[in-house]
Chain A
């Protein structure tokens, strides 16, 4: 993105509205958190949440702390690892089920029985099965994205307009050419949607898996953002809990933004609609 584009974006009405909304949110939060001290009587629950000023103060202290950034890195690596593994296995799996009847009939029933099992239900089994905690977290993260990607790819590839296939066929295209230049691009939008949803699920799953599996190596910093939150809770640092939560929010936003850009790059024709 070049400078003029960035400038346009910052000066745009949408950006301005976003800033206003976040500011109002922070003000309400601050006022809510300080209620107790302002009026001298206790308001249930809302006064227990640390105020944003306290959170930012605590955050300021963490910015220079390498173990905080280590948590970011660990979670990101797990998310990306599980996510890419899910894409590499899920996209061909879904496509193959869509184009091959025999494979579909063989694989789909098993897939459909396994799919409703929440990834977190796999945690105990995968801790027993996989030799290291790291691998079991990776596996659970992978499952989170895998089912969603497969279902979207399968649905997308199956709902291709029949006339696209017939048109290609009558122009003398081979099966492989039809797959490469018709089925694949026609399914791309569904692949992008499936990946975006899958990415969201991966963040949900990785955080929960990290809370369950504990600190890992590096003096607890190997635990990722999920463990960071859990550890702050155990240690009674409520400000840090909120810091961890917002960190995940920001990380998830960047992941989605990255996917949106990649998706836009892969499906340029959709922008023209």
Chain B
């Protein structure tokens, strides 16, 4: 269904943002609270989100990935260190860096179309060009029949696609996705992987994707950043050199993919072990789930 829509709706509108953009996270730390209750979530964390690549970040659950997103999106500021975009420090939220949150943040009181048009209308752009783009995106995400439906009337996968369209209409330079397919059933999840990978391959904008799912990470990523447990640091970067377009059925028959998977699992397992001995409940769950998968 998704691929069909992509073929019928050839991009007559330019979605690719003009600039290529890069985000550098330099020695960033984030501490919540103070005194004896201070909690260090991120410590001396450095990595780069490279321009025109799909960077995936993977780490144990509860390891501060979402906090990193809050910092990169500009909703919060780092305690120390600096985050720059194209060399300029990030001082607040902006439409050049759009976030897709874990839970759907579609406005329940707006129809699909009104949701997509939220950004342009908020900025006073209501010309023919932008309404045409909205219609084009609606078709592209396969929701033209759901144009006047409310989010509660859409399935989980449709909501995610509507949200992608709502973000894309603003032509962000960088798209940040925080575990966007979490909570979808396996079937829709795999469809969404292919769908999202297709979208990315068309435009090759800078994307930053966060996940806890190893298969998802390897299927999608150009670059994979593996995070440590709390306080979070970037531990290891793997370039995923599996050619695109990738197919779900093929990828895990691919020897290279399986080698990467083993490597990632070993690293994540070590991280989980560390916090397991630290008594973290989330880490214990994680360890259990992944040792089952490794068998």
Contact = CB atoms under 8 A, between A and B. Distances in A.
Interface of A: 161, 163-164, 166-174, 177, 181-182, 185-186, 188, 267-269, 272-273
Interface in B90-124: 93-95, 97-99, 101, 103, 105, 107-110, 118-119, 122-123
B95 to A, nearest CB: 4
Given A172-B119, A172-B123, A188 B109 contact: yes
B109 A273 contact: no
A20 B243 CA distance: 71
B31 interface: no
22 contacts: A161-B103, A163-B101, A163-B105, A166-B75, A167-B101, A167-B105, A168-B118, A170-B94, A170-B95, A171-B122, A171-B170, A172-B170, A173-B118, A173-B123, A177-B122, A181-B118, A182-B107, A185-B110, A188-B109, A267-B109, A269-B110, A272-B152
B122 A185 contact: no
B153 interface: yes
Contact of B73 (A170, A177, A181, A272): A170
Contacts of B107: 164, 181-182, 185-186
A19 B198 CA distance: 59
Given A170-B99, A171-B122, 4 more contacts: A161-B105, A171-B123, A186-B107, A188-B109
Contact of A273 (B73, B149, B152): B152
A132 to B, nearest CB: 43
The interface size bin for chain B is 20 to 34
Interface string B34-52: 0000000000000000000
Interface in B230-266: none
A168 B94 CA distance: 10
B175 to A, nearest CB: 11
Given A181-B118, A273-B152, A170 B105 contact: no
A268 B93 CA distance: 31
Nearest to B167: A171
Query: Which one of A177, A186, A269, A272 has the greatest number of beta carbons of chain B within 10 Å?
Result: A269
Nearest to B122: A173
B150 A269 contact: yes
Scoring B107, B153, B166 by chain A CB atoms within 10 A of each residue's CB, the highest score goes to B107
Interface-centre pick from A181, A186, A267, A273 (highest chain B CB count, 10 A):
A181
A186 B105 CA distance: 12
B168 to A, nearest CB: 12
Contact of B150 (A171, A182, A272): A272
B93 A170 contact: yes
B109 A166 contact: no
A170 B97 contact: yes
Contacts of A167: 99, 101, 105
Contacts of A173: 118-119, 122-123
A166 B99 CA distance: 9
B103 A166 contact: no
A164 B170 CA distance: 16
Interface string B57-92: 000000000000000011100000000000000000
A269 B152 contact: yes
Contacts of A273: 152
A188 B109 CA distance: 10
Contact of B93 (A169, A186, A188): A169
Contact of A181 (B97, B122, B151): B122
Contacts of B101: 163, 166-167
Contacts of B166: 171
Contacts of B152: 269, 272-273
Contacts of A169: 75, 93
Contacts of A171: 95, 98, 118-119, 122-123, 166, 170
Contacts of B97: 170
A9 B107 CA distance: 33
* Residue among A170, A174, A268, A269 with max Cβ neighbours from chain B (10 Å): A170
Nearest to A266: B109
A187 to B, nearest CB: 10
A267 B109 CA distance: 7
Nearest to A182: B107
B148 to A, nearest CB: 11
A174 B150 contact: no
Contacts of A186: 107, 109
A188 B75 CA distance: 26
A248 to B, nearest CB: 35
Nearest to B94: A170
Contacts of A170: 73-75, 93-95, 97-99
A172 B120 CA distance: 9
Contacts of B75: 166, 169-170
B199 to A, nearest CB: 19
B211 to A, nearest CB: 18
A261 B20 CA distance: 52
Contacts of B123: 171-173
B69 to A, nearest CB: 10
Query: What are the 5 A-B residue pairs with the smallest beta carbon separation, nearest first?
Result: A171-B119, A173-B122, A185-B109, A163-B105, A170-B93
Contacts of A269: 108-110, 150-152
